[in-house]
Amino acid sequence: MMEDQIKLALEDVRPALQRDGGDVEFVSVDNTGIVSLRLLGACGGCPMSTMTLKNFIETVLIEQVPGVNGVIQVQ
């Protein structure tokens, strides 16, 4: 199932986020392959969070999970 693959891939990025005092939480994935994530801790209020989301997390998810087409941040 795609949701399980996404959660597994997020485990690969989680240590890098946690080193900086942050974390990521899976919220949902829609039928077009857009994944909704919530950035937590230091990542939630970081001015670089959009870059982290797009240039790091999105890249990993697209590479590791077939069908993922992008990510968005939700509150």
Spans of all domains in the chain? 2-73
CA distances from 66 to 32, 38, 70 (A): 12, 21, 11
Q: How much is the pLDDT for 46?
A: 79
Instruction: Give every residue of the chain whose pLDDT is below 70, as ranges.
Output: none
- From the number of C-beta atoms within 10 Å of its C-beta (0-12, 13-18, 19+), residue 39 rates as buried
pLDDT tens across 13-30, in order? Answer: 999 999 989 999 999 999
Name the maximum alpha-carbon separation found in the chain: 33
CA distance 10 to 26: 8
CATH 3.30.300.130 holds for 2-73: yes
pLDDT of residue 75: 83
